[in-house]
Structure 1
Amino acid sequence: MPTPEAAPAHTHPAEGARHGRLTARPALTTATAEPGTRRLTGQALLHVPRTTRPPTRLAVVLHGAGGTAGQALNWLSPYADTAAALLLAPQSISSTWDMIASGYGPDVTRLNAALHETFTRTTVEPGRVAVAGFSDGASYAISLGVTNGDLFTAVLAFSPGFMAPLVRHGRPRFYISHGTDDRVLPIERCSRRLVPRLRKSEYPVTYEEFTGGHEIPAPTAADAMRWWTQE
């Protein structure tokens, strides 16, 4: 099995963690994980839903600045059973993600290790891997989604600020939400600029505005999960 730094044949040799590239990919396995939440050695939490059949769908959930992996799980875990979705929540090394703090590298490597471990422990179908996030985590999710669209087929971004991909692969679809009264990341400077940029680049985007501030309302989280699972 390749190490987190190893690049598969389809990845350009000049691209790696410092470009935001992830090399972990779903693999055929008979392994199944018991329902519940457990900590992985790759510094992340893995939540396995209670379902009648083993879940084969995975969402990576990224916390906001100063947040925790546990907080990130709480946003989507109420809907994981119905969606039959595994949730993987990594913890950033610094107070926020590497792209925002100092440039891609350490957190990409950590996430890659967590994904490798998840794909070893569970069966995840290619084409059913998404990345989600809130605030700084949403900015990171969009950036990683554009960079790794050959892994992530969907991006769920709640109140993002910006995107900063260094390379682009694949063509994921996007669900973006933002509160019209957001004072932390004002909608006019953030999503109302981001969404047209993504659409201009011909990415499919579902965009929802809600009356509220810097938050993820429960109905919005539920709607995003339905959007993802009803592809």
Structure 2
Amino acid sequence: MVTKRGKYSTGRITTKPGKPTGRAGVATGVQPLGLDSQKDGFIYVPPGYDSSKPAALAVMLHGAGAPATQGLSLLQPYADAHNIILIAPAARAYSWDIIASDAFGPDAIYLDQALALAFDTYAIDHQQLAIGGFSDGASYALCLGLTNGDLFTHVIAFSPGFAYTLQTRGKPAVFISHGVDDPVLPIAPCSRRIASQLRRQGVALKYTEFAGGHEIPAAISASAVAWFAPAQH
């Protein structure tokens, strides 16, 4: 695994989409990324994937202390109907680098490698390229999504705590949801503050509050998917 941390110190992703050069579409379903023998993540490719019909791609990040499969589960129920390929990385530490060590580095590197693998193997719709997550994963998705708005077209943040950037490129559309009774990440200093900041910056924002706690009701996740990737027919 590449460990040139300094190159990623601002959270910038270096990989760019392009035409796949690998064996596009051979493997479908859930597969390990194969990027780390100790702490790997997963990729999910819908069984109906067709390289002649580029798929949306969503990188989905787990909450603090959770496994990579939590990230996968956030959108997997909708992936087949909406032609979405999912990448679910595992954080290098208990949470994502900017949270665990107060600096971008190992996780940005790992995500860059995961994206390179996907771009090299599968036909991806460059206009439907999201990063998202839940809780700490949502916070990190906002950090990397806003930093790399020239790559990610959408950010999906379920109950985030903060958004931090050292630099920004582009302006991805942002979806934020949060429970009004969240006891883990209270809504006022978290999503309401983030939403206010993004509106001042002119970011296209879909913001939803719901009756509930630190969770993602099915109606909320379905709304996020419909916003990001309309169903394929």
TM-score of the alignment, normalized to the shorter chain, above 0.5: yes
Q: Where does residue 46 of structure 1 map in the other structure?
A: 43
The 5 Å alignment of 1:23-34 reads 23-29=14-20, 31-34=24-27
- Secondary structure of 1:100's counterpart equals helix
In structure 2, what is the equivalent of residue 19 of structure 1? 10
Provide the secondary structure at the position in 2 that maps to 1:67.
coil
Unaligned 5+ segments in structure 2 are none
- What amino acid is the match of 1:22? I
Whole-Å Cα distance in 2 between the matches of residues 172 and 101 of structure 1? 25
Identity of aligned residues (%): 45
TM-score, normalised relative to structure 2: 0.90
Structure 1 residues not aligned, in runs of 5+: 6-14
Q: Give the alignment of 1:135-154 within 5 angstroms.
A: 135-154=135-154
Could you list the per-position Cα deviations for residues 157-202 of structure 1 after superposition, in whole angstroms to 9, with x for gaps in the alignment?
A: 0000001111100110001000011000000111111001001000
After TM superposition, list the pairs within 5 Å mapping 1:89-104 onto structure 2: 89-102=88-101, 103-104=103-104
Shift of 1:16: 3.5
**1:1-231 equivalences in 2 (<5 Å):** 16-29=7-20, 31-42=24-35, 43-51=40-48, 53-54=50-51, 55-102=54-101, 103-230=103-230
Amino acid at match of 2:162: F
Pairwise CA distance, 1:62 = 0.4
Note if contact 2:82-2:230 (Cα within 8 Å) is conserved in structure 1: no
**SS state of the match for residue 182, structure 1?**
coil
Q: Structure 1 length normalisation: TM-score?
A: 0.91
Residues 56-82 of structure 1 show CA distances to partners (whole Å, capped at 9, x for unaligned) of 210000000001111111111000011
Are 2:25 and 2:50, in contact at CA under 8 Å, matched by a contact in 1?
A: no
Alpha-carbon RMSD across the aligned residues, in angstroms, is 1.9
Residues in 1 aligned to 2:207 and 2:67: alpha-carbon distance in whole angstroms: 26
* Residue deviations 1:29-51 (CA, integer Å, cap 9, x gap): 26224320000122320000122
SS at structure 2 position matched to 1:127: strand
Superposed displacement of residue 92, structure 1: 0.3
